[in-house]
């Protein structure tokens, strides 16, 4: 079975602090993709990153960075020098590469609510 676990329900930090959001996944497939989405109060899921299972290189995009470790089945997300605008719910998600006519459905974790205080 496939599963995504985000153990941190809520995190509160003060602006300019660094914060890491944890994500642990389970799958027996060798080919899959991992995602992070941001969900502001408006509700829309904003795509942040997609990483395939064969690419374990860490990635940095501005203040955002991601650490993918297959050995521990983790895909953690770090925000450096957090800002109030980073306040949102963040979701980690997993998708298997479908074979034939199979459906490519996203499997989400339960999300982490990040509150950045001024």
Partner 1 sequence: ETGVTQSPTHLIKTRGQQVTLRCSSQSGHNTVSWYQQALGQGPQFIFQYYREEENGRGNFPPRFSGLQFPNYSSELNVNALELDDSALYLCASSLGHTNTEAFFGQGTRLTVV
Exactly one of 57, 61, 71, 104 binds partner 1 (CB under 8 A); which one? 104
Contact (Cβ atoms closer than 8 angstroms) between residue 2 and residue 94: yes
- Cα 92–109–25 angle (5° rounding)? 75
How near is the Cβ of 65 to partner 1 at its closest, in Å? 21
How near is the Cβ of 98 to partner 1 at its closest, in Å? 5
Closer to partner 1 by Cβ: residue 47 or 58: 47
Contact (Cβ atoms closer than 8 angstroms) between residue 43 and residue 53: no
> Residues 11 to 70: which contact partner 1 by CB under 8 A?
33, 37, 42-47, 50
- Scanning 1-118, the segments in alpha helix (DSSP H) are none
83 touches partner 1 (CB under 8 A): no
How near is the Cβ of 85 to partner 1 at its closest, in Å? 17
DSSP-based three-state secondary structure for 71: helix
């Amino acid at each position: 079975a496939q599963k995504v676990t985000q153990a941190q329900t809520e995190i509160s930090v003060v602006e300019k602090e660094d914060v890491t959001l944890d994500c642990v996944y389970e799958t027996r497939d060798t080919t899959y993709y991992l995602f992070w989405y941001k969900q502001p109060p408006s509700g829309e899921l904003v795509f942040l990153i997609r990483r395939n299972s064969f690419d374990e290189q860490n990635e940095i995009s501005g203040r955002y960075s991601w650490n993918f470790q297959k050995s521990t089945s983790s895909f953690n997300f770090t925000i450096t020098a957090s800002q109030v605008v980073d306040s949102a719910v963040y979701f980690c998600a997993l998708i298997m590469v479908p074979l034939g006519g199979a459906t490519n459905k996203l499997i989400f974790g339960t999300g982490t609510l990040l509150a950045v205080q001024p």
